[in-house]
Amino acid sequence: MTRADNSPPPLTGADLIADHVRRLPAKPGVYRMMDAHGGVLYVGKAKSLKVRVKNYTRIDNQPNRIARMITATRSMEFIVTDTETEALLLEANLIKRLKPRYNILLRDDKSFPYIVLRRDHEAPQVLKHRGARSLKGNYYGPFASASAVNRTLDTLQKAFLLRTCSDPVYEGRSRPCMLHQIKRCSAPCTGEILPEDYAELVAQAKAFLSGKSNELGDALNVQMQQAAAVQDYERAAEVRDRIRALAAVTAHQGVNPGSTEDADVVALHMDGGASCVRVFFYRAGQNWGERAFFPRHDKSAEAGEVLGAFLAQFYENKRPPKTLIISHDLPEQELLGEALAVRAGRHVQIVRPLRGEKRDLLRQALNNARDALGRRLAESTSRTAQLVGVAKVFDLEHPPQRIEVYDNSHISGTHAVGAMIVAGPEGLEKNQYRIFNIKSEELTPGDDFAMMREVLTRRFSRLLKEKQKGTALVPDLVLVDGGAGQLKEAVQVMADLGISQDEIKVAGIAKGIERDAGREQFFIPGRAPFRLEHRDPVLYYLQRLRDEAHRYAIGAHRRRRAKGARKNPLDAIPGVGPLRKKALLARFGSAKAVGNATLGDLASADGVSRQMAKTIYDFFHDDA
């Protein structure tokens, strides 16, 4: 086939890269390599863009993974920076945002909780916080999990009697609450403690959270002895209980660092081409929990390369501690230290200890990383077999890497929501779950087909826009909860958007006769409905996915319904207007009593038919 304008074919692969090299400056920067669809293949940084990118022009000397990447490259973009440190920070940001196929990726990077001691109130409140630092106060953390925060908050309540209530509750108190009665709050709201004495408790809490627990313990011990000396035994007992509460913090933490006050211990274990990074958080001389991560990378990646990429992405949106204790040497350790120092606003030390206390902390983290990866690989083997079976059932060319399952939940069309859950080789990808509040005002209440059409149209219209930006996560298989009708709607949505069945496979899963688990029917375009063997592991797997979508949809619906019900539950029931509402309240006395009424009792109220009584009853007793 000849080109109409006789112009030469566009450059690709190594030839394209070589063409860019001629115009690149010998300056630091970041480069992106894209495929034919605009999807980002790789993001890299360079001390000299010209020198670094030139390496990709010699494809024969590259590993297979890099050679495939070069061959697939159809375009490139470049950003020049002032320093290599700035390039490293920008690279980490782009990798986390764009998730390129050939980069080492940190997955499941959820936000971490913190403890905040507010400083914008006469009686500062202590509370758990996650997200942007919008409150004026002192932040302590990060903590590895909400449970780790809750344990520390429990200690703060026992030891320092600080309030945890919100400002409206604080201002509305006329007498102390139950927390004061059980000695968990000093009740500044009702003046049970003088402002200067409460300020002293706040100062002590700050000292504890800042790592001065030993000095604080000594000071409290002196206070206890002084109270006992003047026979103020009640005061002495209070201080003694606070000392015990503080001592309990270090008693259950296992390895307790003596000299490691502000550090993260980061240990990597690799096996079978996979890896686990276990991070232990030590702040204020205390263990504030740990978390396991499983980066995505090529099997040929080296340990130092994986750990370095993990650290750059992990601290991209959080302040690094003073010390990082790591399990492997890094290829660009000095550069990474400089980048983290910029992020922290102070010096950050990166060490790989060979002896002493820090080595003991690292050994504990390595053991945990090895155990976590072992469990992960065992689970992955089972999932791999299940996904191979799914591919066979639904005529897929390869085991699916991303399965999306959709379900709706509503009561007579009110508070309707659609839910999407995602599963793949790593199991349920909960950070990819999505809820769709049904917005269309033209839908007939209870029209499940139209609801499914709206949800899928919104989801896949967005996917097409993301594909243009190179950020799309395209499913291999879409499962809709329902039979032939729901499947027809899904196929039509795909066709209207120009998405073929060859690109994304769509199928339906319908509940069995009398909703009997094990009798599910499956629907695929162009095939007669079919069932799987009752004991087929693939059937169990698909049932779990369907049930997870069902659970997620119901939970979202109930939250939306509860939010509306807080205004007035009866207002949220379709068909209940002012007159019926008045009649129901006159008959039963309260909305709660209406919810507890039987079907017959509801039908006996003025203006309530048998059909309306069932609608009201279903609203309060929905389980689907």
Same domain, 301 and 328: yes
In this model, does residue 622 exceed pLDDT 80?
A: no
> Looking at the structure, do residues 460 and 501 belong to the same domain, yes or no?
yes
Instruction: Identify whether residues 430 and 329 lie together within a single domain.
Output: no
pLDDT, position 267: 96
pLDDT for 515 beyond 80: no
CATH code of the domain containing 593? 1.10.150.20
Does residue 56 have a pLDDT over 80?
yes
- Residue 214's nearest CA partner among 246, 244, 248, 237 is 246
367 in the same domain as 346: yes
523/417 same-domain check:
yes
Q: Is residue 43 part of a domain?
A: yes
Domain boundary at 32, 65, 98, which?
98
- What residues contact 339, with CB distance under 8 A and at least 6 apart? 85, 88, 89, 92, 312
Q: What's the average model confidence in pLDDT over 4-21?
A: 83
Is there a domain that residue 117 lies in? Answer: no
Arithmetic mean of pLDDT, 585-611: 84
Q: Each residue of 394-448: pLDDT tens digit?
A: 999 999 999 999 998 877 667 788 999 999 988 899 889 999 988 776 667 667 8
Tell me the percentage of the chain whose pLDDT exceeds 70: 91
C-alpha distance from residue 20 to each of 33, 39, 44, 243 (Å): 11, 19, 15, 67
Same domain, 602 and 522: no
Which DSSP helix (H) or strand (E) runs through 405?
strand 403-411
Whether the predicted pLDDT of 288 surpasses 90: no
Task: Give strand pairing partners of 296.
Answer: 105
Tell me: do 365 and 492 sit in the same domain: no
Which of 73, 98, 123 is where one domain is finished?
A: 98
- 56 in a structural domain: yes
What pLDDT shows up at residue 3? Answer: 52
> Residue 162 falls within a domain, yes or no?
no
* Residue 429: strand, helix, or coil: coil
pLDDT at position 71 is 93
Tell me the average pLDDT of the chain.
Answer: 86
Continuous H helices in 566-577: none
Q: Which domain CATH number covers 25?
A: 3.40.1440.10
Give residue 556's pLDDT.
Answer: 84
Question: What per-residue confidence (pLDDT) applies to 1?
Answer: 44
Are residues 580 and 557 part of one domain? no
The pLDDT of residue 250 is 54
Nearest-angstrom CA–CA distance, 549 and 480: 10
442 and 571: one domain?
no
Check whether residue 433 and residue 361 sit in a common domain. no
The pLDDT tens digits of the residues spanning 303-322 come to: 999 999 999 999 988 889 99
Domain count of the chain?
4
Does residue 7 fall inside a structural domain? no
Q: Indicate if 507 and 602 belong to the same structural domain.
A: no
**Tell me: the pLDDT tens digits for 369-399?**
999 998 888 888 888 899 999 999 999 999 9
- Give yes or no for residue 329 having a pLDDT over 50: yes
In which domain, by residue range, is 585 found?
A: 567-621
Of 98, 130, 165, the last residue of a domain is: 98
For residue 216, tell me if it sits in a domain. Answer: no
Query: What pLDDT shows up at residue 618?
Result: 83
How sure is the predictor about 493, in pLDDT bands with cuts at 50, 70 and 90? very high
For residue range 169-184, what is the model confidence (pLDDT) as tens digits?
Answer: 888 888 999 998 888 8
Residues 583 and 557 in one domain: no
In the predicted model, is pLDDT for residue 145 greater than 60?
yes
